[in-house]
Amino acid sequence: MFVFKAAVVGTGDAADEIAAAIEAAGVGVVRSAGDAFDGLGDVDLVIEAMPERMSIKHRVFAELDAATPGHAILATTTAELSLTEIGEITLRPHQVVGLHFAGPRVVEVVEGDDTSPETAQAAATFVQRLRRTAVRCAECPGFVVNRVLGSVAAERGSSTELSGALRDAYGDRFQPARDVSEDTADERAELKTFVEACLILEEGVAGVRDIDLAVGKPFAKADALGLDKVLRALEAAEDRWGEHFEPPLILRRLVAQGRLGATAGQGFYPHPLPETGYEDAVVKLDVRGEVGVVWIANPPANSLSPATIDGLARAWQDVIARGLRAMVLASANPMLFCAGADIKAFTTWDEASGRAHLERIHALGREWEQSRVTTIAAVNGLAFGGGCEVAMACDVRLAARSATFGQPEINLGIIPGFGGTQRLSRLVGPAKALEMNTVGDPISSYEAFEYGLANRVLEDHELFDAALAWGRKLAGQAPIAVEQIKRVSHAPDLDEGLAAERDAFLRAFGSADGREGIAAFIEKRAPKFTGQ
């Protein structure tokens, strides 16, 4: 779904600001006051910004359904009405989505019961084109931003325009508190922000990353402080101020698991625990049992600069030297995986230096693919360009719900250069790969799973646990067998592939690991593989 022309329906400052943002992004825009719907026959997206009354929304959406092309997305800026109910007046409820402009930078992309994944992804891509942060969430009263702001306002003893609706939906925790002293107001507000954010997460309304982007990073702050300390603070607050501060289930669960935050290596987000000599490196090595975690830590966007490639190569050689059997490739930035190559470095290349850089990263990727070490990419947030390509060089790709994958090089007038024209087609098929490489728009984690680019989709706060579990499982497999499977699995010609498989089978069969595995099966015991 592409947006070449958009329309804004409504009057007032909000409609004017939205139209101005669209125009500034280089997209054609049509304005309508909502009493006439002429000139909308060629728009791709309409944003309705009318008063918050369902009768008005239904009238406008019924008219828009008739006045716009069948492919057009119909978006509403409502902050309090049911998106699903609004969409029911149309013949295309799957193309109805919420775009709640919640402040100068954040836009909540709200999915109703009938909103299709394609519509939600297209809307999020459009928001990013406006240089806004897209926060995807499910429909619920208040969405993310207003729920948190409403709960904080109530705890400060005040209310918002939505307070009544929020009280009806969620109960007394949105009732303005009494006798709030100035000494405790900030503390109570901070704790209530965290509690409401946890409830939104537990209800599946939005993921950790989206909630943090929307409302001031309560989860990142909790990780930095220590989740055990947050738990104790909430327990004390519950005793002092009442049941609104009951520690959320997700917090108690993480503390029970020992996931206490940054100092423990994991909380709501994973955190590096670098080995000696890697503390200040742009790529850090973190050994956890038989699994080596290689963290890309090149702020702000984890770009694959020459120094980052050098760091990846150094960490990889250390993984091999330590005899580790699995590697997890992860991001030290909780908001993204890797935004791609270092574009500024391109300006210093000539043909010779550019070729050398590409050959270096190609060689590293092939080492990963042909090694007996299994590699797992834990992809959080965006993985664009080189970030997508380095993930594709891994054996397994686990995607957080927040993950998006894309090859946007075409927008710079260039092509993927870190393997994207070759590995992508082998994973998703030639047609989808050609589409992604020539269009340049990202796909969601669920689309990536559907097309075979991702092996699993997980909640953001479960991604790293899953990656380590995959690492532990694959680290326990016979190293020679793993190596031979990886080496012969992608032969382009079937006869050549079968011949390679025969040779590989005999190498594994004749190894000490092969004899050990067969003997252990017969003797009904666990095998002990040594890589011999």
Q: Give the residues across from 30 on adjacent strands.
A: 7
Ramachandran assignment for 202, one of left (phi > 0), alpha (psi -120 to 50 degrees), beta (any other): alpha
Tokens of 474: 């694959």
Contact 473, 523 (CB under 8 A): no
Q: For tokens 């329309």, what's the residue?
A: 7
CA angle 115, 120, 121 (to 5 degrees): 150
How far the first Cα of the chain sits from its last, in Å, is 53
- The question of whether 389 is a catalytic residue gets the answer yes
Question: How far from 225 is each of 56, 233, 270, CA to CA, in Å?
Answer: 47, 11, 14
Q: How far apart are CA 30 and CA 19, in angstroms?
A: 8
Helix boundaries (H) for 242-327: 249-256, 306-321
Question: How far from 223 is each of 228, 245, 267, 530, CA to CA, in Å?
Answer: 9, 18, 6, 38
Q: How far apart are CA 434 and CA 120, in angstroms?
A: 22
Q: Which among 411, 492, 406 has a CA at the least distance from the CA of 453?
A: 406
Ramachandran assignment for 429, one of left (phi > 0), alpha (psi -120 to 50 degrees), beta (any other): left
**56-64 — which CB contacts under 8 Å span 24+ positions?**
57/81, 57/86, 57/89, 58/86, 58/89, 60/9, 60/34, 61/86, 61/87, 61/89, 61/90, 61/96, 62/89, 62/90, 63/37, 64/9, 64/37, 64/40, 64/90
- What Rg value do the Cα atoms of the chain yield, rounded? 26
Catalytic residue among 409, 450, 483, 496: 409
- The question of whether 23 is a catalytic residue gets the answer no
Contact 83, 94 (CB under 8 A): no
Helix/strand/coil percent split, the chain, to 5:
50, 15, 35
Contact 444, 117 (CB under 8 A): yes
Q: How far apart are CA 532 and CA 515, in angstroms?
A: 10
Which DSSP symbol is given to 414? Answer: -
How far out from the chain centre does Cα 84 lie?
Answer: 25
Catalytic residue among 48, 111, 155, 389: 389
- What amino acid positions are annotated as catalytic residues? 389, 409
